[in-house]
Amino acid sequence: MQISPALQQPKKLCVLVYSASDNNLKSFMHSDVDEMELAGSDDQMDVVVQFDHGGSKGAERLHIERDTEVGKLNSPVIESLGSTDMADPKNLSDFIQWGMKNYPAENYFLVISDHGDAWKGAAQDYSGGSWMSLKEIHEGISDAQAKTGKKLGLIGFDACLMANTEVAYQLRNDADYLVGSQETEGGAGWPYNRLLGEENLVALQQTLATAIPVEPRDLGARLVATAQGKQNDLPTMAAIDLSKMDGVKDAVNTFAEAILDSDTSRGTLRGMARKTEVFTGYKDLYHFAQQVGENQSISDDKLKEAARGVTEAISGAVYAEQHSRSYPNAHGLTVQLPNWQFSPSDEYKGLDFAKDTKWDEALTSMGKYWFWPWPI
């Protein structure tokens, strides 16, 4: 089934929600779409969703319309796609292209909603037995950009662990800004009724009703502020200026080279890595560099100066950030930083961040020398 969307003049904002729900999060993601209906689309904003039911029903594309009936999706199905592998980057690209063609807008906000695992990617499809890698996410978005000539203003990950240095650098040319969480999210994920509705919707619609353009940067900051009231599910959230990620890359590369050149004890560096704010599988890049830059036992001024360069670069890139009291040293961007020996996988070495910096070489150097017992 397919309903042709009405041709229209560009609105100020189009929210494109790619809900890869053919997995154990389907019930939560169904509730997310139900929450979106509390806000709905209006004459200045479209909200469209690709939702995968899995099984024989497959994926559907919906134009979200406002209604207050809880527990049932009443928005019209614009297109039924049948069985769809939501972890295939071609399907991500196709959805973005479809949304941009049929719902023209001055600004586009893409939400990828599902499981996430930092630089390892996001979006799991049970039926296809597949997972979208970070490089494939980039491929899907960049393909849509090339074919439409339009760039996303904002990418949001309603997924775990995606406020990550490797992620932000890989996607640096795919959007202007990125919003995500350093830590895992609760199953309920983003509070869409608050992000797109109620007070936020009123504020957003007041902006939309004026001649002032909707700024993706401001929308990202609003998302972070809204998450602050839901820290049980969203203990961390950050908004990142992707145009600053080249600067972060340069600073990290200088820091990595300084680590490789330094006579500073690897045990000292590993000790600071162990004390760095930890999330599920990843650590806070700013906090690690901050410790190196402020450590009185380190006499290598070049290393300490390079570490301070990292904190300055991150402060410039992360323009909005919130965290619960459980993460006092969260600063908005995680990074691969293990406590133990590091041997980068081929997948990691294939990332732009690994190719454009010596960070993986520095991690390997830091983990070279071990003595029993292993530190904890």
Express each pLDDT in 175-223 by its tens digit: 999 999 999 877 666 766 566 654 555 565 555 555 555 689 999 998 8
CA distance 374 to 376: 7
CA distance 209 to 94: 30
Report the phi/psi class of residue 161: left, alpha or beta, with left for phi > 0 and alpha for psi in -120 to 50: left
Per-residue pLDDT of the chain (376 residues; tens, 9 = 90+): 455 565 678 999 999 999 998 888 888 878 888 888 888 898 889 999 999 988 888 999 999 999 889 888 999 999 999 999 999 999 999 999 999 999 999 999 999 999 999 999 999 999 999 999 999 999 999 999 999 999 999 999 999 999 999 999 999 999 999 999 999 877 666 766 566 654 555 565 555 555 555 689 999 998 898 887 777 778 999 999 999 999 999 999 999 999 999 999 999 999 999 999 999 999 999 999 999 999 999 999 999 999 999 999 999 999 999 999 999 999 999 999 998 778 899 999 999 999 999 999 999 999 865 443 444 4
Burial of 217 (0-12, 13-18, 19+ CB in 10 A): middle
CA distance 37 to 33: 7
Q: Structural domains in the chain?
A: 11-241 (3.40.50.11970), 246-316+325-366 (no CATH)
CA distance 154 to 163: 13
Q: How many CA atoms lie within 13 A of 368 on its CB side?
A: 10
**Token pair recorded at residue 226:** 């809204």
Across-strand partners of 61?
A: 50, 79
Tokens 């996988």 correspond to what residue? Answer: 345
Across-strand partners of 343?
A: none
Burial 287-300 (b: 16+ CB within 10 A, else e): bbbbbbbebeebeb
**Token pair recorded at residue 196:** 């797109």
CA distance 34 to 370: 52
CA distance 330 to 324: 9
In angstroms, what CA-CA distances link 235 with 82, 122, 181, 307? 36, 19, 8, 26
Would you give the distance in Å from CA 148 to the centre of its chain? 22
CA distance 154 to 144: 14
CA distance 216 to 97: 19
CA distance 161 to 233: 13
CB atoms within 10 A of CB 74: 14
Angle (deg, nearest 10), helices 266-275 and 285-294 = 130
**Contact present, 138 and 307 (Cβ < 8 Å):** no
